[in-house]
Structure 1
Amino acid sequence: MLLVTNNPMVEEKINCIPKEYVEVEYGEVLQIVKQHIIENNYVLLTHPLSGSIKPNETYYKSIILDDNQRPYTDLASLELIEDAEAVYDKFMKNKMRPNWTEKVLKDFAYVDYYIMRSTFECMQMQLPL
């Protein structure tokens, strides 16, 4: 598994799987994930548009990938990430992201972190004893 994130809170607090922390915008996180899907045959384990915050409102995005174990690109993952890129582009074109205060940015970071933390809790519940 691989966690790709631009969220410093996720980088600091989640240490149960390998991470790729990147200091880039939300849209660039999507591009990096797409590269992993195409070049490294990864598959999406979390939806690239998870959460209820619009892409033009938050700076932070964390996505979990897994090794496909096959020598070809997972087309379903590729389609999902390309759809997410199109949604991101549409929202950014229609309304640019506000210049949020530090407090609001911390709130957005916490929401993304909480989604990741909850995801890992759910995944561990499904693991065999």
Structure 2
Amino acid sequence: MIIVTNNPEVPDKMKAIKKTSIVFVDGEYKDVLLQTRRYIVDEQLVLLTHPLSGSIKPNETYYKSICLSEEARDWIDLESLTYIERALDVYEAFYKNQPRPNWTDSVLLDFAKIDYRIMADTLQRMGVQT
């Protein structure tokens, strides 16, 4: 499994998960979506988690973590591509209507913890011990 994230809490707390690679994106939410799309198209990987998971709107938070399969296919998974393209459209629509506030460091830390918790809970439901 590959975890694509811009959340600084994820690499440190999840590095011990067996058979998991963590790709840290030095950027914001949209950059994580774009990197994920590159993996889906270029490497032919498949989404394991929804790119819009959680209840925080994409224009409100800075952090995002997404899981992908580590095994490449011989084709582009159209369902994964559709999900990531729709997530990018949703991000653009929300961001266009109301750009993300300039959050304080303490609020950003809260968002990082929320994203980590969502990812950890999702992995546990998938049978992965975090």
Check whether TM > 0.5: yes
Using the alignment, how far apart are the partners of 1:84 and 1:22 within structure 2? 17
**How far 1:69 moved relative to its partner?**
4.4
Give the fraction of aligned pairs with identical amino acids, expressed as a percent: 52
> Which residue matches 2:95?
92
1:65 pairs with 39, 64, 68, which one? 68
Against the structure 1 CA distance between its residues 5 and 53, is the aligned structure 2 distance closer, same or farther, given a 3 Å change threshold? same
- Amino acid in the other structure paired with 2:4: V
Q: Does 1:8 align with 2:8?
A: yes
8 A contact 2:45–2:73 mirrored in 1:
no
| 1:41 aligns to 2:59 (yes or no) | no
Moved over 4 A (4+): none
- Number of residue pairs the alignment of both structures matches: 125
Q: TM-score if structure 2 supplies the norm length?
A: 0.92
SS in 2 for 1:43: coil
CA distance in 1, matches of 2:73, 2:62: 33
| Residue aligning to 1:119 | 122
Unaligned ranges ≥5, structure 1: none
Unaligned runs of 5+ in 2: none
Query: TM-score with structure 1 length normalisation?
Result: 0.93
Q: Give me the whole-angstrom Cα distance separating, in 1, the residues matched to 2:72 and 2:92.
A: 31
Q: CA RMSD in A?
A: 1.1
Cα displacement string for residues 57-110 of structure 1 (whole angstroms, at most 9, x for unaligned residues): 000000000045421000000000000000000011000110111111111000
AA matched with 2:104: T
